[in-house]
Structure 1
Amino acid sequence: MEPLNPLPSGITTRYATFNGINCHFLEASPTPATHEAPSNVEKAPLIVVLHGFPELAYSERKLLVPLAQAGYYVVAPDQRGLGRTFNIDETAPDSRTPFEEDLSPFRMINLVKDVLSLIHVLGYDHASAVVGHDFGSSLAGFCALIRPDIFRSVVMMSTPFPGAPSLPLESSSGPPSLGSMAARLQNQLAALTPPRKHYTMYYSTPDANKDMLDAPQGLPSFFRDYLYAKSGQWQGNSPHPLPSASATHLAELPHYYIMLRDQTMPEAVRGVQGKHEGCPAWLSEQELTVYVNEYSRRGFQAGLNWYRCATDPQWYSDLQIFAGKRITVPAMFISGEKDWGTYQNPGVAELMKEKICEKMDDEDFVLIEGAGHWVQQENSDAVVKHILRFLGKVEEVLSNE
C-alpha cells in the first residue's frame, strides 16, 4: 500500500494490535531519538488525538508536529474500520465494512476501550490529554468522563459534549444527545414545508454509504463540496444559538444538517462552491486525494455506524450507568466561529460549560475567528496555541497538588 502523501516531516506511521483490530496510527515525538525508538517515547507526556467523520487520522496531521515540538508524544489513530485500521481477521485494510445489524463493536463503550488499549500498548498508564474533533470530541468526552484516572485533561473540538444519557426513569436534566434528539423529531421535521430530515437519521440508513461512494458529482467533488460547505469559507455559515430544539428552530440550520427529506448528502451539498470548484484554501488537491483514496477503498460505513449507535437506544443504553456523572478533569472546547456544530444541538454548549465539565474556565471555551467546522485544519496554528496554553495551565495545577 502506498504511503500517505503528503505527510508533514516529523510524522511516522505505525500499527498496534488490540481489541480485535490492527490499529494504524500517526505519531510524532519531541526529538528524533525518541521518534526512532518507540520504546523511549514514554519519557514524553502523551497526547491522543481522535478524528471525526468523514475524516481520518490524517485530518490531525497539522497538530502533531507542533505539539511534539512542545515536548509531547502525540498519536492519532485511524478509528475502527476507517483509513488503514482493520479487523484482525482481515489480512489488510482493503475490505469495506458492511451494513450489519450487530453494531456492538462501534458502540461508545467499545470505542473508549480502543483508546484505552492504544495507550496501554504504547507503554503508558495515562495520557496528559485526549483531544477529539467532531465525533472524536464525543469520544474524547466519554474517555474523560469514564476514566479520569487515565485521561488527565480533555480538549473537545467542534461538537459540544452533552454528558451521559439519563436513566429511563429520570426527568431530563438538560438537552438530549444529538442522536436521540434527531430520532425524537423525525415526524415533526417531516411535517415541515418542505419536508425535512436530520442528517444523523440519514446517516443511519442503509443507503447513505452507497449514496456517498456513488455521488453524482464524483467522490472527489463530493468531498470538495462537503468540506467547503462546513468550512469558514462558505458564506452561508453564520452560526448563532437556536431558541429551542423544536423542528421549526432546527430548520434554521444549513441544508447539510437539516436536509430536504428526499435528498442524499451529495445532493444536499452539491454546488455550494458556485463557480469556485477547487479545494478550500486550507486543503490542497494532493491532500484531498488522500481522503478520496482511503474512503473509496474502505467506504463510509464504519463511520456511519457511529450515527446508527447514536440514534438507536439499544446501542447507547449502557452509557446510562454514567447518568449524572461529570467530567472532573480540566476541559477545553475549541470550535470555529463559523461552525454551526457549536449550536446544532440547542443548549448543549451551555450545559457543557456550566454543568457537565466541572473545570472548564471561560477562557477555555474558544471560538476561532474565521474558521468553520474543520478548525484544526483551517487554522491549526490557533488551535495549537490554545491547546498549549491550556496544557500549560493544567500542568501548573497538577504540579501544585
Structure 2
Amino acid sequence: MTSYIDNLPVGVSSRSIPVGDLDVHILEAGDPSNPLILLLHGFPELAFSWRKVILPIAQLGYRVVAPDQRGFGRTQPRSTANTPVRYGDDVHPYRVLNIVKDAVALVFALGHRSVAAVIGHDWGSRIAAFCSLIRPDVFQSVVMMSLPFGGPPSLPFDVDRQAIVPPPNIFDAEARARLASLDPPRKYYMTYFTSPQANEDMLNAPQGLRAFLRAFFHVKSADWLDNDPHALASHDPSELAKLPHYYMMPFTATMPEAVMPHAPSSEEVKRNRWLPDGDLSVYVAEYGRTGFQGGLDWYRASQPEFYEELAVFSGKKIECPAMYLSGRKDWGVFQTPGAFQRMKSEACVRMDDEDVVLVDDAGHWVQQEQSEQVVKHVQRFLKKISLEV
C-alpha cells in the first residue's frame, strides 16, 4: 500500500495523537516552540494536500501542523477506528461547530494557546473562517482558500417594517425541481453528495477509483481548459447552470460519470507536475481503505437543520487580519453567487485589497498546483500582520 511516509518531503513527519474522541493524524514540520500555523484541508483531500507548503512555511519560523480532519484519512473516532463510516451513522459530529471544536482541541493538545494563522482550503476554508469568527482569542489571523466566506447565516432584521425574504436553500425540493426542469436537466453536487449512493458511486467508479480521482482532480484544475470562472448574477437555475458539470451535474449522472468525459489523456497525465502518479496513489490508497463517507458527512451536516444553528453568530464579522487566496481558474470563487463580494465588503473587517489574491495557472487545488506562489503570498501576509502587532 502506498503510504503517506513514502511520499512526504524530507523534514515533514507523520504521527497520530489523541484529541477528544479522535485519534488525529497530523503532518508537521518546524520547531514545536515556534508560533503555530494550522492547515485545514477540504474534500476529497487529506493533510497530504499540504505536502508542498508545510516545510517552506515552517522555514519562515513557524511550527506547521496539518491534520487529516474528522472522517478523513487516518483520523477516525477512537471507538470505531477499524470500522468504515456508513451512510446511516450519526452526522452530528460533522457539524461546523463540532469541527471547529476539533481544531481548538488540537491546538490545545499540541501545547499551544493560540495560532498565528489558520489556513483552510475548500471545506477547510469554511472551518478556518468560523474558527477565527468564534475564537479570535485563539486564531489570530486567517487565510481562506477557494471557498469565500460570506458570513454566518443571517436572522431576519426589522421584520416589523418589511417583508421577510427567505434566503435560497439549495437543498429544498423547490430548488431541486427547478434545476431538474432545465434543458438539459441538472442537479447540484452538494445535494448528490448527501445522497445514500454517492459513496458507493465514487468508491466503485466504473472507470476505477484511480481513474475517477485523476479525472476529478483534473477537471477542477487549471489543466482543464474549459474552466472559465466568472461571477454569476443570481441563484436562478439558468445562472447556476453555467457552472461546470462537477458542480451542476447532469441529472441522471453519478460524479464519476459527470467527470469521465473530461478525463485527461495519457499525455496530459505525463505532463502533470503538481499531482504525479506517486502522489495520486496516496489518495487512492487512503480513500480505497476508508471510502468517502466520512467526508461526505460534512455535506450532510451542512443541510439547514444543522447549519442554521450558526445563525447565533448572525451579524458577527471576522475581525482578525484575513486573506483570501485562490486559483484564477477556480470556479469555487463564484459557485455561491454574492459570497465573494460579501466576504470583501461585509464579512471580514480587516481584509485589504492586496490580500485578495487569485493565482495564475491554478484552479481549485491551488496549494498543490502552484505551491511556490501560495507560500510567497502567505509569507507576505504573515510578515505584514507581524509588523502590525
- Structure 1 pair 97–330 and aligned structure 2 pair: CA distance change class (3 A): same
TM-score normalised by structure 2 residue count: 0.94
**Where has structure 1 moved over 3 Å in runs of 4 or more?**
168-177, 180-184, 273-277
Judge conservation of contact 2:215–2:264 (CA < 8 Å) in 1.
Answer: no
* 1:295 equivalent in alignment to 2:287: yes
Aligned to 2:199: 209
* 1:79 equivalent in alignment to 2:69: yes
Shift of 1:264: 0.3
Rounded to whole Å, the distance in 1 between the matches of 2:165 and 2:388 is: 30
Judge conservation of contact 1:162–1:176 (CA < 8 Å) in 2.
Answer: no
Aligned to 1:137: 125
Aligned to 2:170: 181
| Equivalences, count | 382
Q: Give the share of equivalent positions with the same residue, in percent.
A: 49
Shift of 1:181: 3.4
Q: Structure 1, residues 227-251: CA drift from partner, whole Å, max 9, x if none?
A: 0000001011011111111110010
Amino acid at match of 2:13: T
Q: Structure 1, residues 212-262: CA drift from partner, whole Å, max 9, x if none?
A: 001010000001100000000101101111111111001001011000111
Q: Structure 1, residues 70-92: CA drift from partner, whole Å, max 9, x if none?
A: 101000000111111121113x5
Rounded to whole Å, the distance in 1 between the matches of 2:157 and 2:170 is: 18
Shift of 1:271: 2.8
Computed over aligned residues only, the root mean square deviation of the Cα atoms, in angstroms, reads: 1.9
- Find 2:236's aligned residue among 215, 226, 246: 246
Q: Structure 1, residues 145-175: CA drift from partner, whole Å, max 9, x if none?
A: 1011110000000110121112267779999
Structure 1's unaligned 5+ residue stretches are 35-40
Aligned to 2:19: 18
TM-score normalised by structure 1 residue count: 0.91
Rounded to whole Å, the distance in 2 between the matches of 1:389 and 1:235 is: 30
- Structure 1 pair 227–356 and aligned structure 2 pair: CA distance change class (3 A): same
Structure 2's unaligned 5+ residue stretches are none
Q: Structure 1, residues 187-234: CA drift from partner, whole Å, max 9, x if none?
A: 211111111100000001010000000101000000110000000010
Shift of 1:278: 2.5
Rounded to whole Å, the distance in 2 between the matches of 1:85 and 1:104 is: 17
Rounded to whole Å, the distance in 2 between the matches of 1:175 and 1:59 is: 37
Shift of 1:15: 1.4
Aligned to 1:266: 256
1:277-288 equivalent positions in 2, closer than 5 A: 278=269, 280-288=272-280
Judge conservation of contact 1:232–1:371 (CA < 8 Å) in 2.
Answer: yes
Judge conservation of contact 1:175–1:347 (CA < 8 Å) in 2.
Answer: no
SS at structure 2 position matched to 1:194:
coil
Rounded to whole Å, the distance in 2 between the matches of 1:223 and 1:303 is: 15
* 1:106 equivalent in alignment to 2:132: no
- Structure 1 pair 23–176 and aligned structure 2 pair: CA distance change class (3 A): farther
Judge conservation of contact 2:141–2:322 (CA < 8 Å) in 1.
Answer: yes
Shift of 1:182: 4.8
